[in-house]
Structure 1
Amino acid sequence: MTITGVVTDVLCNGNSNGIITINPSGGTQVFQANWQPPASGTNYTVANLPAGTFSVIVTDINNCNATGTFTVNQPSPIYVYSSTTPAHCGIDNGTATIDSINGGTPGYTYIWSPGNATTLTIDSLASGNYLINLTDNNGCQVTTNAYVTNIAPPSQITFIDTNAICNGTNTGSATANVVGGLAPYTYLWSDLQTTQTASALAAGIYTVTVTDANGCTFAKSTVITQPNPIVVFVSGADSICLNSYAVNISVNASGGTFPYHYFWTGSGITNPTAQTQLVSPDISTN
């Protein structure tokens, strides 16, 4: 007695949808089939089988028997290999690419999520996770992910400013301190200085553009101020007659930066740094 059979392999790796159908011949009918574990049953056909090797013993009416052994195969697991390029500088310019597919049954289709693209490469991506849902020729599916990282640009610039000391002078400075991005940084100020600290600044608005090691840029402006011009007000008698009493002449100032320091010049000045002077007729001042 011989046992032949038809095997239907598992469609997808790990599934249990294999089928074996036997056809005994020779011997004397009627035949009785007895499947051995892990299969079970007495039918000529057993279904819902995982991949593996299965045996059946067939006995005829004369108690003669034969054993048949059959192997149910399955496709290899599906592996999707992908790569990404990062999103640079806060711009949606990352990419994700399916590099290769192994296993399963060729004749693959794939769809990306979000976006529903069906190309090998997707672009103009923000940082984040992107899913690949792949289906092979047997309808077997696998889902994997591709993660697009983010190369963050500088996120902030803080300034340490020194304002101009006197009105109309270029004694100010500004130092730019960068937060975020990747050091080292390069600097370009609106007056074309290229150091972290811009010096010899007059009053005005200055903008610095910072470029980090990844080529990401960030720009911010700061204001250098200056004091108002110093204005001097002198109060007292405009003229003094001979042989008259001495009079007081006082000086007041505005603008500049308080406190003020005074210095009188002229004949007979006894306290040149006093705000008020006592002036006699024989004393001239300037």
Structure 2
Amino acid sequence: MILSLLWSVMISFTVSAQHAIERGVLNFDNNRIFATKGITVGVSGKLALCSHAEKGHIILDVQGGVAPYTYRWNTLQTTKDRTDLYSGTYTVVITDAVGTVHTERIVVQPPYPLILNPVEKADASCSSGNDGSAKISVKVGRGEPYRVTWSNGLTDTWEATNLEPGSYSVTVADKFNCDITTTFEIKAASEGMQVSEAIQDLGCSGLSNGSINLSVKGGQAPYTYQWSNGSTSKDLINITEGDYSVIIKDQTGCSFQASYAVKAATQMGLKETVQPESCAGAGNGSIQVSVQGGTAPYMYKWNNGQSTSKLGDVNAGDYSLIVTDAFGCTVEKKFTVGTDSALELEVLDQTKAACAGSSAGSIHLAIKGASGKYSTKWSDDPSAGLNRENLSAGTYHLSVSDESGCNVTKTFTIAEAQALQARIETVLDVDCAIGAITGVAWVSIKGGVQPYQISWSSGEEATREINFHSSGSLKVNVTDALGCTSQTEVRVDFPSQINKAGRLDFDYRKLEISSEPEVQVDEEIIFESVISDDFIGWEWSFGDGNASKEKDPIHIFQTSGMFEVTLTAYDIYGCSSIEKNIIQVNTPLEFIAIPNAFTPNGDGLNDTFIPKLRAVSTFSMDIFNTWGEKMYSVSGLESKGWDGVYQGQVSPPGNYLYQITYTSRDGQLFTRTGGVTLIR
């Protein structure tokens, strides 16, 4: 009975507790006790299929209730999680330890297409630009939310900007992690910049003479430059060693960036090999140098004037060298050339031959530092000693050897004095005004040694210039300070008199005979001279600004007036004679004479019809028959006139009409008409 009551109470409590649990609270003796919460389920896993080849899975996260739980799926499986699922609806009943039941309905979505619209893109303005853009959108899909991932790192944005030229991809995933990826390329709208450089490294150590010269092509000029050292110029000059970077932008904002290195110069140094001379004064010492560092080619400057890397054939002593490389950098060093032996040949005195052809040269020598006895050997006289006399001009070679074997050679040149040369020159000094003549002679001297002694055959002494007044021979003797002499002779001519006036005259006449005796404007006038044979030159002046050097010139006066014509003649001494005449030139009067008949029969007389004209500047003529038909027309002062032919046919004899128009020299226009008879 008690057991039955206890069971009844327990059942009653259990039911009451169950309701209390569902309400979330229990009361015992008025004390509030919190009950266990209801079952909650979190669902994850692959709940949508992206393709028919895929399988889904379900992962449950059960919370609340009283563990452990039991699971029963509508497909009769009893596991908590499910795998290898096709699309469809899956229901699971979850029961906890106290019998609480929770039912969860889960759908595995079937495959659904995710289709993107074509990428909307804008290319970059240039290959170095970053102003490209791309935009993506979903054409078919399950709906928001979508996740967007760009290959350049952008996420959750439908548009990517600031893109450089290149290949990109974008991936769009739906809320079930089904995704699709598309690729695209951002191109350059224009060619980018191409930059080439010419770098000049530092020329000399410690200097700041480096440079970077840029050559920019492509893009759109003008360009701007921003160097890492703050410069905004295209090129860098006078810069030091180091790295330099530059950003170049064109007009569109496209940029190019590069870095360049300017290297330091290698400091120059010299390494030498010195060869001492074998004997003092032998002159066979040498210094060979090699340059380390710097930039080839090198220039060498020795203090003795040599300009090669090897200083050769030098005596013992101190020498200095300056080496300059291609950039003008220099290094200087001093060297000492020693002597293996002290044998030395000293020149005490050397004189040249005093006069041309003489044998008065001499050589006086001394030997110093010889080891033991020495021997001498001259090329011209092996037995000669150190002192030579009476030497003619020439070259002499000497070799000296001592007992140590040291040998010294030297070459001597006995120069010949410049030959003393004298030459007599003459001129006649003429006074044309009084007819007086004076001969002048002087001596020109070359060579020898001043001062000179001068003696003339006419008796004058110590003077280079004399006068003479008759024809004959002149001699002069010149002696220089060394006693060398030169003598010369010349034949001189002295005239008895010079040209005098009275053998010069001229006349003039018209070149064409006319009825007018006076000289007219535009007439050819010939001037006929009478000039003595003593005159060798002449010149005419016509008084109108014109001149001539012809002997009998023809001249035309262009204007009227009185003109003084002058003839000047010159003799061999430069003296002149003058003859003048006054010529009256008149303006011709207008004249026209028109014949009344002509006979074109070929006998040379009156064969054409032409008027005689004078003092007219223009002329024209028309011939008509009695019916008014024009038979002939001509213009110009050189016309020969009408020969009675019309259109290649001989015109019949008879009367014809003429009209003549001419202009006088003063510009007046005249017209003459009349008749002429053609006679056959």
| TM, length-normalised to structure 2 | 0.24
Which structure's relative contact order is higher, taking Cα pairs within 8 Å and 6+ residues apart? 1
Q: TM-score, normalised by structure 1?
A: 0.47
**Whose radius of gyration is greater, 1 or 2?**
2
